[in-house]
Amino acid sequence: MGKNPLKQSERELIVRLQTQLDELRQALKVSDRGKLLFRAELSYGDDEVLLVEADGFGGGILRIVEGNYPVDYLTREERAFPTEEEAEEAAATLRLELA
């Protein structure tokens, strides 16, 4: 696709940095970016899903999506939280309110 291949030294640098990042996230108990932390079906007929994804920096993103998640969907609502725990708690509360 017109991209120049990485040099071996560049590839090794990326691997080394990713390894350091993985170790740091594990030590700080921070989930990888995009990791699904919470999922709940909101409706059976409309394919509405409530979910929380990690932002990779300790926070969480709460989303209400419609469609065939994760393949083909539309984000109806999105809120960011400073911690993963706050996002998960908000999702659990919202699930009870919408039930």
Nearest in space to 38 (alpha carbons), one of 56, 59, 57, 52 = 52
Q: Going residue by residue through the chain (99 aa), what tens digit of pLDDT does each one get?
A: 568 899 999 999 999 999 999 999 999 999 999 999 999 998 776 689 999 999 999 999 999 999 988 899 999 999 999 999 999 999 999 999 987
Domain span holding position 93: 31-98
CA distance 48 to 41: 6
* Four-CA torsion 31, 33, 38, 44, nearest 10 degrees: -160
Give the predicted TM-score (pTM) of the model. 0.83
In a domain, 5, yes or no: no
Residue 76 inside a domain? The answer is yes
| Residue 26 within any structural domain of the chain | no
- The answer to whether residues 12 and 22 touch, using CB atoms and an 8 Å cutoff, is no
